[in-house]
Amino acid sequence: METKKELPKSFFEKVRPVAPRDSLKNIIPFKFTNDEKVKKGNYKNQKIIKLAK
């Protein structure tokens, strides 16, 4: 993907505060539903997959 804007590398090397412990609670993740390779519940042993573009 071509982007018109990127944040500089130095931006991501800046040390910032860590996130609050519970800040990710109540987030409902997307679920795999229709891909045989990565069905929900089968991802624990999932190896790195480079999906064809």
Partner 1 sequence: MCKIGDIIGVPRYFGQDGEEVAFHYFVVVSDESGKICGFNFDIVGTVMSSFKDENQRKYKSSFEENVKITESEFDLGNRNKKDGFIKADQLFYFDKTKTNYFVVGQVDGDVLISLLERIGYLDEKNKLTININNILEELEETSGT
Nearest-Å Rg of the Cα atoms of the chain is 17
| Positions in 5-34 near partner 1 (CB under 8 A) | 5-7, 9, 11-21, 23-24, 26-34
**Residue 39 found at the interface with partner 1 (CB under 8 A):** no
CB of 7: closest distance to partner 1 in angstroms?
Answer: 6
Task: Please report, for residues 12, 49, the alpha-carbon distance to residue 52 in angstroms, rounded to integers and kept in the order given.
Answer: 29, 9
State both tokens at 53. 């573009």
Counted residue by residue, the chain has a size of: 53
Residues that bind partner 1 (CB under 8 A): 1-7, 9, 11-21, 23-24, 26-35, 38, 40, 43-44, 46-51
